[in-house]
Chain A
Amino acid sequence: MSDIESRIADTMLAKLRERDTSLGPDDLARPIADLDLDSLDMVELHQQLERELQVKGDLAETAGFAFLDEFTTYFVKLSSRG
């Protein structure tokens, strides 16, 4: 796992644990619909990842994600563009 992927995973796990402190890294692979996240959580996660990585994403794209893995792919790609 790269440094950026690790920071993304940490940010996502922190968001999950705001809802359920028992969740761990394995839960990042579960469908978002199975997690206790609402639409505002998704916006908050988007903003926190932007802030962590100092990039600007498109909320309209991330709002449609079904898996948290998609955030990783999306923000790694954004970060690589510099």
Chain B
Amino acid sequence: MSAGIVDIATAKPGRTIGNDHFAPIGLTDAWIRRRSGIASRSWLPDQTPLAEVAAEACAPIVTRMDDPSSIGALIVVSTSVRQRVPGVAQQVAHLLGLGPSVLAFDLNAACCGFVYGLAAGLSLCDGDPARPVLLCSVEAMSRLVDRTDRQTACIFADGSAAVLLAHRPEFAGLCRTAGCDGSGAGLMRETDEGGIHLEGAQVYDRAVRRMTEAARYLFDHGPAPTVLVGHQANGRILEQVRTFTADLGVPFVNRIEHSGNTSSATIPLAFAEELDAGSLPAEGRLGAVAYGAGEAWGGVSVDYRVPATTAC
């Protein structure tokens, strides 16, 4: 008996920003699509608290549970939350009405945060198999970028998604690989002036290599995933990883066109969209791979069985 994903839900309450929004800074729809594969993205209102957005994503899962008081831990992953004290996780727990015995904490590993969160959450499940773990990524990257920066403004987006991790008799064990290299910290970093500095070509190269390696590791060291979901960083990166993992014989998800790069939230958002669209069965094995600032990278494969309708 092992832990896996037993429910999933999303929230994208912001307004849709089309590519024409970036015409004033000299970007055309054709250029953005070619460079990133993105046609539109969602941006939250500037004042909306991220705790509320995370709670909106988590709420359907909590509602569907027979006994929400059994939740043992709540992990809120975010790289764009600006208020550090108090933590977002405690606020989300309060908004959801979760009991005082919940271990609630924030986690930041930039775009790799959901994969790190999965690894941490599944380990917590193994430590206390009777208590499920709620894992939620919430991002407002539109607040982090310089909206006049031609390189990054059109790429990043906002949204939230949550999964419930719990033990099931039929689930196989998790397989994971993860790592970091702080010597690459300068490749992607928040600048003192505001905005995100990206060394585009190097990041592209390293993202493709790391996610391809992580995907192959998951196939070589555990039960074969039935679907691969990579961090939705950029459509060009995703297509290159898809090419380089084509021999693995499973779908590689690219849902960036109408979502953009929501940092740590991209993997659960893309996974949920595929499930919602009926492109994936309600049970299988997810291989999640990511690369992001830090540098941090990793991959996790985990069984899932979710309610047939997860759309929120």
Contact = CB atoms under 8 A, between A and B. Distances in A.
Question: Which of B35, B202, B205, B209 gathers the greatest number of chain A CB atoms within 10 Å?
Answer: B205
A47 B240 contact: yes
Secondary structure of the A contact surface, majority rule? helix
A44 B240 contact: yes
Interface residues of B, number: 12
A59 B244 contact: no
Contacts of A43: 201, 204-205
Give chain A's interface residue range (CB within 8 Å of chain B). Answer: 10 to 19
A79 to B, nearest CB: 19
A51 B200 CA distance: 21
Question: Which of A38, A40, A47, A63 gathers the greatest number of chain B CB atoms within 10 Å?
Answer: A40
Given A40-B236, A51-B244, A46 B205 contact: yes
A42 interface: yes
Interface in B167-224: 200-202, 204-205, 208-209
A29 B72 CA distance: 63
Contacts of A40: 35, 200-201, 204, 236
A59 B202 CA distance: 8
A44 B236 contact: yes
Interface string B35-79: 100000000000000000000000000000000000000000000
A38 B34 CA distance: 10
A59 B201 contact: yes
B244 A42 contact: no
Interface in A25-81: 38-40, 42-44, 46-47, 51, 59, 63
Nearest to A41: B236
Contacts of A63: 201
A80 to B, nearest CB: 23
A38 B35 contact: yes
Contacts of B244: 47, 51
A47 B244 CA distance: 10
Contact of A39 (B200, B208, B240): B200
Contacts of A39: 200-201
Interface of B: 34-35, 200-202, 204-205, 208-209, 236, 240, 244
Interface of A: 38-40, 42-44, 46-47, 51, 59, 63
10 contacts: A38-B34, A38-B35, A39-B200, A42-B201, A43-B201, A43-B204, A43-B205, A47-B208, A47-B244, A63-B201
